Amino acid sequence: AGALLALGEEESARPKLLKALTSRKDPVRALAIQIAGELAAPWALEALRELRASRAGARWCDEIDAALAGR
């Protein structure tokens, strides 16, 4: 997904990134959180906010907050 985003293929990468945000694999989810924050598209930031508010996102609070803050 990251390579597609770098090439400006945001719409084709969107479903993959959204799926990666719900991955059970920690490295995949961590990378998706980082990419969503760097992308900073409204839909990506909304997905991060939704993840932050969910039970599944509870253990990722620091990473999500950093991504939302643009760090």
Could you tell me if 31 and 25 are in contact, meaning their C-beta atoms sit under 8 angstroms apart? no
Residue 46 has pLDDT above 70, yes or no: yes
Query: How many other C-beta atoms lie within 10 A of the C-beta of residue 19?
Result: 12
Average pLDDT for the chain: 87
Extents of the domains making up the chain:
2-69
Residue 55 amino acid letter: R
Higher confidence at residue 70 or residue 26?
Answer: 26
Query: pLDDT by residue (tens digit) across 2-18?
Result: 554 554 556 778 898 99
User: Which of 48, 19, 22, 23 is CA-nearest to residue 36?
Assistant: 48
Token digits of residue 5: 């985003």
pTM exceeds 0.95, yes or no: no
